[in-house]
Amino acid sequence: MNALALQKTTLAPELATKYVAAPAFARLSPQPNGARLRRKGPIFWAALALLVLSADALLALLAWVAVDLVLN
């Protein structure tokens, strides 16, 4: 029930303030879950750093090969 319907009925006014409906945009937006990555241990972060560094090295190697092909 929304607050306006509760106020129009014979229910007590404190019920109207207790059961106020949430705005529509708050119900549709997902709740952020920032704690999901914070719970991971140091092994997870080390593996993630290793993955990022290996991807960076692979991109650097691909760029090196591309420049070598263009210049030769």
**Do both 27 and 47 map to the same domain?**
no
pLDDT of residue 64: 97
Compute CA distances 45 → 40, 51, 55, whole Å. Answer: 7, 10, 15
Q: Are 2 and 21 in contact (CB under 8 A)?
A: yes
pLDDT of residue 72: 85
Supply the range of the domain harboring residue 26: 1-31
Q: Domain total for the chain?
A: 2
pLDDT of residue 24: 58
Segments of the chain with pLDDT less than 50: none
**Do both 17 and 45 map to the same domain?**
no
pLDDT of residue 21: 58
> Whole-model pTM?
0.45
Give the Cα separation of 11 and 6 in Å (integer).
Answer: 6
Contacts (Cβ under 8 Å, ≥6 apart) of 3: 16, 17, 19, 20, 21
**Do both 2 and 27 map to the same domain?**
yes
